[in-house]
């Protein structure tokens, strides 16, 4: 079985003062506090979520 691609994301910004949908997107990514990381499957939907809150997160590493 082939390994699935994963992406590691770290929250760098606070959701305080952001819109509700951006706050919910961070929760959907498994992030809720600054400097927390989450390892996610690299899919187009996850990439879209990251793109939506790109000013609040950063990609730590990508595994192929």
Q: Is residue 1 part of a domain?
A: no
Taking each helix axis as running N to C, give the angle between helix 44-52 and helix 20-28, from 0 to 180 degrees, rounded to the nearest 10. Answer: 140
User: How many helices and strands (H and E) does the chain possess?
Assistant: 2, 3
Q: How far is CA 24 from the centre of its chain?
A: 11
Output the domain CATH number for residue 48.
3.30.1390.20
Q: What CA–CA distance (Å, rounded) separates 47 from 17?
A: 23
Give me the pLDDT at residue 64, please.
Answer: 60
pLDDT at 62: 61
Domain containing 31 equals 6-63
pTM for the model: 0.85
Higher pLDDT, 50 or 5: 50
Domain-embedded: residue 47: yes
Mean pLDDT calculated for residue range 15-33: 95
pLDDT band at 4 (very low <50, low <70, confident <90, very high): confident
Given this model, what pLDDT does residue 2 score? Answer: 61
């Amino acid at each position: 079985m082939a390994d699935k691609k994963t992406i590691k994301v770290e929250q760098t910004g606070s959701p305080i003062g952001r819109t509700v949908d951006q706050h919910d997107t961070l929760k959907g990514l498994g992030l809720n506090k600054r400097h927390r990381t989450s390892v996610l499957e690299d899919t187009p939907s996850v990439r879209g979520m990251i793109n939506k809150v790109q000013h609040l997160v950063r990609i730590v590493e990508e595994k192929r």
